[in-house]
Amino acid sequence: MEPIDRKTFLATAGAAVAAAGAPATVEAATASGVFLSTWKWGIEANAKAAEVFGASGSLVEAIEKGINVVEDDPKVMTVGYGGLPNAQGEVELDAGIMDGTTRRAGAVFSLHKIKNPISVARLVMEETLHTQMAGEGALQFAIAMGFKPMQLLTPQALEAWLKWKNAPHHETFWLHENHDTIGMVAASGGKVAAGCSTSGLAWKIPGRVADSPLVGCGYYADDAAGAASATGNGDVMTNYCTSKHIVQKMGEGMHPQEACEDLMRYMARSAPNLRSDMYCVIAINPKGEIGALSMNAKQPLQYALWRNGAGALHAAPHFM
């Protein structure tokens, strides 16, 4: 799938809407929910989210259950069960979720042994007055909430870790990388929500936390403006509060695609060396209009979109 430029993207998006016939109201257009996720595993996540939304009418519930599909899949080696471990061979998970109506978020950092960090994050949001919990405390909270600790390192992930560990000159994160996260944003009836879950960079220094579980960085949602999520080099994106930047720009009136571009423009101007690194974002506004963008064509983003009862994988435009 080739990355496409903005003009082609907006033309394609416009044609799709025209072909479907313009719905009378935002409510009608988004009644069954619009779900937008990062990467190819977003297809199944969105389908599950749409099903759960149909039954529960809750965007938060839909995002949690949609992301659970990816967390449970051992073939996705960057999220949940089967995620690649840290430098010491331990799987360390991060996740966050936000309800745009209450503007409340919940997140867990460096969570071990629990395969569904997004579900624990949701409980932090809904069952406590806290917003973010880390490490051992987050694990104890999860156990108290009824989650069962388990071994998250699959044979495939162990094999990959051993290969890295035993390579004579293996790269380490005392300076560098290896990714891919599930981020999901959703809209229905003027409401939005967002979630993000990851095992972070493979072979990371134990305890490392980047953008994915940080409110305003890996995800953000506000019914007054929209929702956004990010994937890519989180050690850098954290410094730009990417999701909050995009949501704020949507709140100022930008289309989600323009808001994504505004972020990339800001990053590219502030440090030209960022133009060649991997930064990708998705966004949705309360009307269900979407944006998706990668910084450059060499590290393209694929996004999955579910709308009007059908889902598909698309190539996002690239900024440079």
Catalytic residues: 181
Among 110, 181, 188, 257, binds ligand ASP (CB under 6 A): 181
The sign of the dihedral angle between the CA atoms of 233, 221, 306, 94 is: positive
Task: Using the rule CB under 6 A, give the single segment among 21-29, 57-65, 173-181, 248-256 that binds ligand ASP.
Answer: 173-181
Q: Tell me which stretch binds ligand ASP (CB under 6 A): 19-27, 82-90, 139-147, 210-218.
A: 210-218
**Candidate list 64, 71, 92, 211; residue touching ligand ASP; CB under 6 A:** 211
Q: Enumerate residues 231-290 that contact ligand ASP by CB under 6 A.
A: 231-232, 234
Q: Which is nearer to ligand ASP, 198 or 243 (CB)?
A: 198
Minimum distance of ligand ASP from residue 289's CB (angstroms): 24
Least Å from the CB of residue 122 to ligand ASP: 19
Cβ proximity to ligand ASP: between 179 and 191 the closer is 179
**210 counts as binding ligand ASP under rule CB under 6 A:** yes
Shortest distance (Å) from residue 233 CB to ligand ASP? 6
Name the residue nearer to ligand ASP (CB basis): 180 or 261: 180
Of 124 and 301, the one with the shorter C-beta distance to ligand ASP is 301
* Nearest to ligand ASP of 83, 317 (CB atom): 83
Smallest distance, Å, CB 2 to ligand ASP?
21
Note the residues at the interface with ligand ASP (CB under 6 A): 179-181, 198, 200-201, 210-212, 231-232, 234
